[in-house]
A and B are shown apart, each in its own frame.
Chain A
Amino acid sequence: MDIQLPSLGEGATTGTVVNILVNEGDVVEKDQALMEIESDKAVAELPSPEAGTIESIQVKEGDEVSEGDVLAQLSEGGGSESDDSSDQDATEEKEKLEANDTDDDREDDSADKDDKENEKSKGRTDEDESTESSEEDAETERGQRPPAAPSIRRMARELGIDLHRVGGSGRGGRIDIADLRAYIAQLKKRAEQAATSSGSIGPALPEMPDPAEFGDIESKSLSSIRKTIAGRLSRTWPNLPQVTQFGEADIAELMELKDQHAKAFEKKDAKLTLTAILLKLLPPLLEAHPYLNASLDLENDAVILKKYFHIGLAVDTEQGLLVPVLRDADDKNLLDLARETADVAKAARDSRLDKKAMAGASFTLSNQGGLGGGAFTPLVPYPQAAILGVGRASERPVLVDEALKTHPYLPLALSYDHRLIDGGEAARFMHELVEALEHPDESLFDI
């Protein structure tokens, strides 16, 4: 049967496949999560409509999908695929035919042995699994012993495995030791997958000591955004060696210019911000240092240089961090950027961002200045190569023409994928950024 994208609810008709949790050939249970679909800001699991085997998967991670799209093919073992009794009969008939086939093929058994062994490791989708699909069936199935020898049943009992869930490869669905091993291997794989998928967070960490022993606690389940963030970071951080290059810029002159031009912006209903200025400064610098506006594609031994400058802008919202993208920042003047910055930030805080608005950044800017943050080390958002973190400027005494004055110093932090970018490249980029901030060109403010 086809597994289609169901309605995502709340008016959403499209989503993105963020995670595929099963492989072709996997034996799945009814309601087992097959993939994760992200729509707007919610990540929903796609449950299997029935028990069976995943025949094929039509989508890959990152694919945009619409309601009704066929995402995968599921073959049911038989039994109870529907309440339609004629269907049921047909399935039973088919099973009988299959059983007869097995018998006719008996002579070839030894020749086919290797094939059979392979099949075994895949498990089987017989009635014992498919009947899991409805409570009633599961119940009657409980009445019958799982088709396995007493020794296998004891082993399953000791391992805490419900044999009704194990596909048997033998005649009549009999479960042998190889089936049990295959099932355990599958469980292990599933557990490992779960550990690295956004469904659960992080690879196995040592068991957490019970925090309740030390005082009152409250346990809250994670929001879907938090789960997505946590899952992504758990996957990327250990796999992305990164270094943070610090720098600081005396922005006294820049601030002076900013104050001079602020009025003009206000007249045009825009607020001139340091963030907008940074967005204006970044594209030419990135153009000069293309590896910072790139992605490393290790699978193809390639670096993908992006000819566009879509800057992700980290926005702190009540729900969590959202990163809307300002497209083609290099084509925009400061007024455009100031307006757009304000617009996307508001959209983010009003939960009005759709998935598209947050996709495709080639570089990211995270300015914590407004929140009062100092220096920090941002994490490179995969698959980008770098991110610029900006803290709040602090006043520092400086000698200007032998007079002691205070100037605001802006803390800068450039985190970069060290597999792609060397320290020298990062240092040069940082130096040029500091230069651009300390000695701004007044044409910057042309609107």
Chain B
Amino acid sequence: MASETTKTDVVVIGGGPGGYGAAFYAAERGLNVTLLDREGSLGGVCLKRGCIPSKAYLHATQLIEEARRSADRGISFGEPRINCKAMREWKDGVVAKLCDGIEGLAKKRKVNVVYGRGYFQSSDKLRVETEDGQQYFNFKKAIIATGSRSLIPEPFDLGSSRILTSKEALEIDSVPDRLLVIGGGYIGLELGTVFARLGSKVTVAEAMDDLMPGSDPDLVKIISAAISDLFQEVHTGTKVADLSTSGESLKAVLSRKTEDDEATTEEVFFDKVLVAVGRRPNSDNLGLENTAVGIDDKSFIEADASRRTQDENIYAIGDVAGGEMLAHKAFREAHIAVDAICGDPPLDEPLLVPAVVFTAPEMAWVGLSEEAAKEAGHSVEVIRYDWRSSGRALSIGQSTGITKMVVDADNERILGVFMAGHGAGELIAEAALAIEMATTVRDLAETIHAHPTFSETLKECAESFFGISPHTL
């Protein structure tokens, strides 16, 4: 096999949003860039088996729910007929279109795309195993953007095709009758929602006392109510003590503590199990031991605010470097890393990363929670707006929702915004901009928002700070 050594300014390992974002921006800044992906196409988890396909399914299946609900409004439909193959092909089409788009953009920016596995031989040399043999790259700087993968705890890893992670769950070939979702975080709830809408009886088991552990309790309350309606069973404070195959089925032993602090167990049978208990960083098999890159006790690569690792030539961005595992965070970090490589002054502030959970209704937030704001020394005032007062929300039958703002009472700056409700994922953009722009509640209250829209919920919430919200008391 021929092996050659290519010189490149920057080599980016991983073709997800972080990786291609870094490669494109570096190329725009005039650097010679090589972009590696081990999968034969660009896009990463986000495009191929994460954000995009899950949102495609969520959108497609939302219609089923809407159709059911519309009977109340005098419009009835028959039972939906579901063709999993056609649905999957549609989803694949969406994904392929986006992946091709990314590849086209790479070509236009003269980014050298190489498909293969990268392995550091030193702090300036990378070996790449491609289908055509080994290639070597001498780089000035490397950006690791290898992302993360679903974590399957060993007891659940039975080697059965009935046990799914998000990756397999998004390749829907049939609708299981009984589905157990282990993990009540956003992945479990979003995919559970898809299957529940398609007709599965979904049970979710979450070890912590609430769904969406760590999220704002007011939002979780709303989501929990909606999920309880949609799912067959919601078990919080519940562990899956054992999982085993039992003929055509899977037997799960659900264990939870009673009020008397005694453990009760229950055996339940399922057709499929989705394990959504978390994700782990792809920091292994990269040859990091041949560099000065350091990893923490959870295997995340350690990087500073400029995304530089302990190896001065190597940067790390996105899921593999810890923090929120979100594509948009990785994308921003990509630019920060490239700026640092180009010698720009280091970023001296934490990132403001909005988060969206695409359940129905959606939940979204950005900025400081009440507790975090207090901890940071702010005198905090929290204002709330209930969407039942929103004409728009009522008129589309989506009046379950809440907007919360965490405000610095001293200077009236908005520190955090938390929302649950229809379209919250879109509305959060305004909140993120408001915080970035150091907006005060007065600014937001005096910005005219079109009527009747969901965006008014933000304005009215801000107005409530001054006790002048017209539609609430």
Chain A interfacial positions (CB closer than 8 Å to B): 92, 95, 99, 103, 126-127, 140, 143-150, 153, 157-158, 160, 171-175
Task: Collect the chain A residues with CB atoms within 8 Å of residue B415's CB.
Answer: 144
Q: Give the nearest-CB partner of A160 in chain B.
A: B345
Task: Pick the residue among A103, A127, A153 that contacts B349 (CB under 8 A).
Answer: A153
Q: Give the nearest-CB partner of A150 in chain B.
A: B436
Task: Collect the chain A residues with CB atoms within 8 Å of residue B442's CB.
Answer: 103, 171-172
Taking a contact as CB atoms under 8 Å apart, the answer to whether B411 and A149 are in contact is: no
Instruction: Name B406-438 residues within 8 Å CB distance of A.
Output: 408, 410-413, 415, 436-438
Q: Assess A149 versus B376: contact at CB under 8 Å? Given A103-B442, A157-B348, A171-B443.
A: no
Task: Pick the residue among B348, B376, B436, B440 that contacts A144 (CB under 8 A).
Answer: B376
Which 7 A-B residue pairs are closest in the complex by CB-CB distance? A140-B377, A147-B438, A143-B376, A172-B440, A172-B411, A157-B345, A149-B437
Q: Assess A158 versus B344: contact at CB under 8 Å? Given A145-B349, A149-B436.
A: yes
Q: Assess A140 versus B349: contact at CB under 8 Å? Given A149-B438, A173-B411.
A: no
Taking a contact as CB atoms under 8 Å apart, the answer to whether A127 and B377 are in contact is: no
Q: Give the nearest-CB partner of A168 in chain B.
A: B438
B378 at the interface (CB under 8 A from A): yes
Among B347, B437, B438, max chain A CB count under 10 A is at B438
Q: How far is the CB of A237 from chain B (nearest CB, A)?
A: 39
Q: Give the nearest-CB partner of B377 in chain A.
A: A140
How many Å lie between the Cα of A99 and that of B440 in the bound state?
11
Taking a contact as CB atoms under 8 Å apart, the answer to whether A95 and B410 are in contact is: yes
Taking a contact as CB atoms under 8 Å apart, the answer to whether B345 and A171 are in contact is: no
Taking a contact as CB atoms under 8 Å apart, the answer to whether A99 and B412 are in contact is: yes
Task: Collect the chain B residues with CB atoms within 8 Å of residue A153's CB.
Answer: 349
How many Å lie between the Cα of A95 and that of B408 in the bound state?
13
Taking a contact as CB atoms under 8 Å apart, the answer to whether B438 and A143 are in contact is: no
Q: How far is the CB of B255 from chain A (nearest CB, A)?
A: 41
Q: Give the nearest-CB partner of B435 in chain A.
A: A145
Among B378, B410, B440, max chain A CB count under 10 A is at B410
What 1/0 mask marks residues of chain B from 346 to 362 whose CB sits below 8 Å from any chain A CB? Answer: 01110010000000000
Taking a contact as CB atoms under 8 Å apart, the answer to whether A147 and B376 are in contact is: no
Q: Give the nearest-CB partner of A162 in chain B.
A: B348
How many Å lie between the Cα of A261 and that of B217 in the bound state?
104
Taking a contact as CB atoms under 8 Å apart, the answer to whether B438 and A127 are in contact is: no
User: Besides A140-B376, A172-B412, 20 other CB < 8 A contacts?
Assistant: A95-B410, A95-B411, A99-B412, A144-B376, A144-B378, A144-B408, A144-B415, A146-B438, A149-B436, A149-B437, A150-B436, A150-B437, A157-B347, A160-B345, A171-B442, A172-B411, A172-B413, A172-B440, A174-B440, A175-B438
Taking a contact as CB atoms under 8 Å apart, the answer to whether B349 and A147 are in contact is: no
Instruction: Name B435-468 residues within 8 Å CB distance of A.
Output: 436-438, 440, 442-443
Pick 10 A–B contacts, CB within 8 A, sort by A.
Answer: A95-B410, A140-B378, A143-B376, A144-B408, A145-B438, A147-B438, A149-B437, A158-B345, A171-B442, A172-B412
Task: Collect the chain A residues with CB atoms within 8 Å of residue B376's CB.
Answer: 140, 143-144
Task: Collect the chain B residues with CB atoms within 8 Å of residue A146's CB.
Answer: 438
How many Å lie between the Cα of A92 and that of B381 in the bound state?
14
Task: Pick the residue among B347, B378, B438 that contacts A172 (CB under 8 A).
Answer: B438
Task: Collect the chain B residues with CB atoms within 8 Å of residue A160's CB.
Answer: 345
